[in-house]
Structure 1
Amino acid sequence: MMQKVSSQQAMELENEYGCHNYHPLPVVLERGEGVFVYDCEGERYYDFLSAYSAVNQGHCHPRIINAMIEQTKKLTLTSRAFYNDKLGQAEKYVCEYFGYDKALFMNSGAEANESAIKIVRKWGYLKKNIPDNEAVIVAVERNFHGRTTTIISASTDEQATKNFGPFMPGFQVIAYDDLAALDEALANPNVAGLWIEPIQGEAGVYLPQDGYLKKAQELCKKHNVILMMDEIQTGVARTGAMLASDHEGVHPDMLILGKAISGGTIPVSLVLCNDDIMDVIHPGEHGSTYGGNPLAAVVTVEALQVIKDEKLVENSNAMGEVFRGRMQQLVEKSKLATLVRGKGLMNALVINDTEDSSTAWDICVSLKENGLIAKPTHGNIIRFTPPLIITEEQMNECCDIIERVVLEFESAMVEE
C-alpha cells in the first residue's frame, strides 16, 4: 500500500489528511543512519534534534535493530494478562542500572508521568495520611511533562492550555530555581510530590543554579515529599552524565524515563522507585495493554547496554564541551546569537530576537538547506541535540555550518 513519494507529495498528504498539531520544518525524512538522516530525494542532513533526544544512540543502531528483529520473530505482545519471558529480566536490568527496587514499564513519556502522578498521590494517602482527594503535587513554571489533560493542568504554557480546560485540581505551580518558594510550598502537609525536570528542555534548555537540585532533594526529605524527577529528555547520557541529576549527586525518590531508553525504535517509558513507594499499587489499579511487552523489554535492555558499551556518557560530555566552546566563539563575534547554554549534548543557542519573530525559524530553514536540521523552541531559541555518537570531526563540521548560517543572516539583516 505504501508507495515512494516525493518530499512535496509527502508534505501535501500530511497537510490534507493529518491533524495539524505540529508545524514541521519543511524536510521529509525517509531514512536514517547514525548521525545522518536522508530525505526522499536522497539529500543527507546532520540530525541535531535526535527526535527530541529519543535517538541518543544514533538512527537505526544495528544492535538495537537486530535485537528488535529477533524478538519480533518470536513474540511482540501478550498484554499483562500473562507473564512473558522477557519483562522480568528487563525489570531487573533497569533496576540495577539505575539503582531502584521496582520498575513500571509503560509506553509514552506522558503515560509514564501520568503513572507517576497516580503512584505519588496514592502514596500520599496511604503513607503520609493526606486526607482523601486533597493531595497536592508541586510543579514549576515553564515545565514540560507531556500534553495529556492531567499533565497540562500543571503547565504555564498558554499554547498548551488555552481552550483545553477545565483542568485537573491538585497541582501547585511555583517559580523554577527558587528555593525559598520551594521550601514554603513543600511545608504544606498535603503535598505528596515535587515534580521537576533537572534541566528544562522544551522551555529552551534552562539550567538551574548549581546546588538547586541537591537542595530540592533535602527539602523533600525535610517535608516527607517524593522527589519526582522527569528525565525523559535529559536522561540516558544526553547531558554528559547517565542522568542529569547525577551532576549534583541526586538520586530522586522517583525517576521517570522515556525516549532514548528504546533508542528511538518503539515507544517505551519507565517509572522507577523503591518498594515503599511502588508497593502502594495493586492489581487492577493501573495498567497498559502494551506496557511491559516483550519487544519493549528486549529493546530497552539492548539500547541501555549500547550506552555503556560505546561510552556515550563520556562522548556526550566531551562533544558538548566542543559545541559550547565553538558557539561561545560565535556569540563573541555575533550580535544575532547572544547566548549558548546547556550540558553535554543538550544545548541551546539564544537568538537576539523576540519570541514572536520568525528569525530562529528562518535560521533553521537555512541550516536545513546547508545540511543540518534543528528546530526552534519558544520562538527565539534553537535547541541542538545531536545523537551522542557524533565524532569531533563531525561536530566541528556542524559548528562550521551553524556559524556560517548565523553570520550570513546577521550580514543580510545589516544590509537591510
Structure 2
Amino acid sequence: MNQYEKLIDGLGGIEEARALSYSESAKLYSAHLNPFLVLISRFLGFNKKFSRASGCYLYDEEGNRYLDFLAGFGSLNLGHEPEELIDALRQTEHLPNFLQSYLNPFAGKLAQHLSRLTENKLSRVFFCNSGAEACEAAMKLTRASTGKKVIVSAEGAYHGKTMGALSISGREKYKLPFAPLVPETVCIPYNDLQALEEILKTQSVAAFIVEPVQGEAGVIVPDSGYLKEVRKLCDQYDSLLILDEVQSGMGRTGRFFCYEYEGIMPDILTLSKSLGGGVIPLAAMLTKDKIWKRAYGKFETALLHSTTFGNNTRACACGIAAIRTIIKKDLSKNAADIGELMLLRLRELQQKYSVLKAVRGKGLMIGLTIARIKGKKSIFEGGLTLWIARQLFVKYRIITAFTLNNYDVLRIAPPLILNFDDAYYFLNSLEDVLKSAEKFAWFRLVK
C-alpha cells in the first residue's frame, strides 16, 4: 500500500457514497463543504435522501414522490434523466472525450445546430462549462473586437460569480467582499432606455449586456419593445449588444430564444443550464463572424481565449440531443401554453390573497412576490417566502425556492415537459398554502 492509499484507506468509493444517509451526508458537508447549506436544507425541510429521479419527479428512500418546480435553476428543461440524453451518452462510449487539437465532430455539429437556430447570423461559437464562463468570454470578445473598455450591465442582473461575471452583475452584496472587481464596468437601471442612451452618449461603450428576462432579480419582465429599442440604441452608438439567455433560453419562455419575441438579433448570445440537457455542464457563447474575426481572426490571436474542457465529446453530444429533443417535442409551445394557464390562475390568486403581492413571468419562467412580515428578521430577509417554500415541500412535496437576488420572490421554473395535471396540482397546493399564510401572518404584513 503506497502513501496515498494509506490516506484514503477506509473511505470507500462510489458504492459507499450511494449508501450514505442524509445525516452522514450532512456531516460531510459540515466538515468539508459549506455547513450553512446543511442549515438551509433543514430549515426547508429538505432533510431527505433522494434515491431516484425521472422527468418532473424525485423519489425519496420511502418511495414518496416530489414534484420539481425548481428544475436545477433552469438546468432541467427536459426533466431529470431524460432518455434522449442518456442515449446520447451511450453513443459516445469508447470515443475520445478530451483531446486537444482534435477537430471534434460533435463540437462542430452542435455549433452548426446553434448557428442554424440563429438563422446563421451568429455563426461563431465558443463552448465552455458554465454561464459565468460564457459571459466572461463575451466580455473579452467585446473588448478585443471593439478596442473599447466600458461594459454596461443592468441593476439586479445575475451573470455569474467569477470575477468578470460578478463585475457585470447587479447586486452589491455579492460584489463588495471581492472589490476591486474588473474596472470600467457600469450598472444602470433595468428597463430604462433613457439611462442606457445617456451612458452610450457620454462614454465609449464596448457593449451592453442584458437578460431578456431578469431571473435572479425576481423574474423581471421588461416593457414590451424594450429590447427592440435597446438594439436600436446600440446600433446608433456603435456598441455591441450581448443577450444573456442562460436562464431564458432553450424554450423556457415559450420561444426557443426569448429575444425572438422582439424580432431582434443580438451581437453576442450566451447560453448554458439546459444546453447540457441537465446531464452534463455545458455553455456557449455565440457571435457574428465579423466580430469574432476582429478579435481572433489572425493566427497570432486565434488562441487568445480557449479552455481545456470546451468542445468535449460527451457534453457536445448532450447539447445536440437537448436541442433536437426540445424542438421535436415542441417544448417551447408547451411552456407557452402551460405558462399562460399558470399566469392567468396565479393572477386570480393574487386578487384573493394579500400575501401574494405580484405575479410576473413569461412561459414557464415565473416569479411570485410574497409580502414581508413586519419586524421579521431572517438570514433570508424575506421570511414568509421561505415559509411558503417549506410548506409546499413538507405538506405537498413540491420543490421551489426563492430567487438569488430577491428573497421575497418565489421562483416557479418547472421542467418544460410539465403536464397540465401537475400544473393544476401545484396551483391548488399553492392556494392552500396561501390561505394558511393569510391566517398566519395577516396582522404582521408590510403593506
Give the TM-score taking structure 2 as reference length.
0.87
SS in 1 for 2:307: coil
1:160 CA drift (Å): 0.8
Over 6 Å off, 4+ runs: none
8 A contact 1:109–1:269 mirrored in 2: yes
Is residue 2:101 matched to residue 1:90? no
Instruction: Please give the per-residue CA displacement for 1:10-45, whole angstroms capped at 9, x wherever unaligned.
Output: 233222221357544442444221111123443211
SS in 1 for 2:286: strand
Instruction: Please give the per-residue CA displacement for 1:55-87, whole angstroms capped at 9, x wherever unaligned.
Output: 0011111011110122133232213x3222322
SS in 2 for 1:187: helix
Match for residue 65 of structure 1 among 86, 101, 117: 86
Structure with the greater alpha carbon radius of gyration: 2
8 A contact 1:50–1:387 mirrored in 2: yes
Name the structure 1 match of 2:26: 11
Mapped partners of 2:151, 2:198: distance in 1 = 13
1:3 CA drift (Å): 3.6
8 A contact 1:316–1:388 mirrored in 2: yes
1:398 CA drift (Å): 1.2
1:291 CA drift (Å): 0.5
1:358 CA drift (Å): 1.3
8 A contact 1:239–1:317 mirrored in 2: yes
Q: Would the alpha carbon gap of residues 32 and 380 (structure 1) be closer, same or farther in structure 2, given more than 3 Å must change?
A: same
Q: Which amino acid aligns with 2:388?
A: I
Mapped partners of 2:61, 2:31: distance in 1 = 19
Q: Which amino acid aligns with 1:366?
A: Q
Mapped partners of 1:136, 1:117: distance in 2 = 10
Name the structure 2 match of 1:340: 359
State which drifts further: 113-122 or 345-354.
Answer: 345-354
1:244 CA drift (Å): 1.3
Q: Which amino acid aligns with 1:54?
A: S
Q: Which amino acid aligns with 1:102?
A: R
Name the structure 2 match of 1:193: 207
1:194 CA drift (Å): 0.6
State which drifts further: 331-340 or 381-390.
Answer: 331-340
Q: Between the two proteins, what is the percent identity of the paired residues?
A: 31
Mapped partners of 1:233, 1:104: distance in 2 = 18
Mapped partners of 1:385, 1:89: distance in 2 = 29
1:284 CA drift (Å): 2.6
Q: How does 1:72-111 map to 2 (within 5 A)?
A: 72-79=93-100, 81-99=101-119, 100-111=122-133
SS in 1 for 2:58: strand
Q: Would the alpha carbon gap of residues 97 and 20 (structure 1) be closer, same or farther in structure 2, given more than 3 Å must change?
A: farther
1:91 CA drift (Å): 1.4
SS in 2 for 1:404: helix
Mapped partners of 1:20, 1:276: distance in 2 = 48
Name the structure 1 match of 2:420: 392
Is residue 2:392 matched to residue 1:373? no
8 A contact 1:7–1:39 mirrored in 2: no
Mapped partners of 1:11, 1:402: distance in 2 = 29
8 A contact 1:5–1:40 mirrored in 2: no
1:415 CA drift (Å): 8.6
Mapped partners of 1:39, 1:177: distance in 2 = 42
Is residue 2:391 matched to residue 1:361? no
Instruction: Please give the per-residue CA displacement for 1:347-397, whole angstroms capped at 9, x wherever unaligned.
Output: 011111167231111111111111100001222110100000111111111
Q: How does 1:54-203 map to 2 (within 5 A)?
A: 54-79=75-100, 81-99=101-119, 100-125=122-147, 130=148, 135-188=149-202, 190-203=204-217
State which drifts further: 285-294 or 152-161.
Answer: 152-161
8 A contact 2:242–2:268 mirrored in 1: yes
SS in 1 for 2:344: helix
1:114 CA drift (Å): 0.4
Mapped partners of 1:333, 1:16: distance in 2 = 46
Name the structure 2 match of 1:257: 271
Is residue 2:71 matched to residue 1:50? yes
Mapped partners of 1:169, 1:176: distance in 2 = 20
Give the TM-score taking structure 1 as reference length.
0.94
Mapped partners of 1:405, 1:7: distance in 2 = 27
Mapped partners of 2:244, 2:63: distance in 1 = 37
Mapped partners of 1:30, 1:149: distance in 2 = 36
8 A contact 1:7–1:40 mirrored in 2: no
Mapped partners of 1:212, 1:97: distance in 2 = 22
- Which structure shows the bigger proportion of residues in helix conformation? 2
Q: Which amino acid aligns with 2:358?
A: L
Instruction: Please give the per-residue CA displacement for 1:232-267, whole angstroms capped at 9, x wherever unaligned.
Output: 000011011111111111211111100111111111
Mapped partners of 2:188, 2:269: distance in 1 = 21
Mapped partners of 2:18, 2:213: distance in 1 = 41
Mapped partners of 2:428, 2:32: distance in 1 = 38
8 A contact 2:368–2:411 mirrored in 1: yes
Q: Would the alpha carbon gap of residues 154 and 20 (structure 1) be closer, same or farther in structure 2, given more than 3 Å must change?
A: farther
Name the structure 2 match of 1:308: 327
RMSD: 1.7
Q: How does 1:227-376 map to 2 (within 5 A)?
A: 227-279=241-293, 280-281=295-296, 282-353=301-372, 356-369=381-394, 370-376=396-402
Mapped partners of 2:211, 2:363: distance in 1 = 16
8 A contact 2:160–2:169 mirrored in 1: no
Q: Would the alpha carbon gap of residues 72 and 186 (structure 1) be closer, same or farther in structure 2, given more than 3 Å must change?
A: farther
Q: Which amino acid aligns with 2:398?
A: L
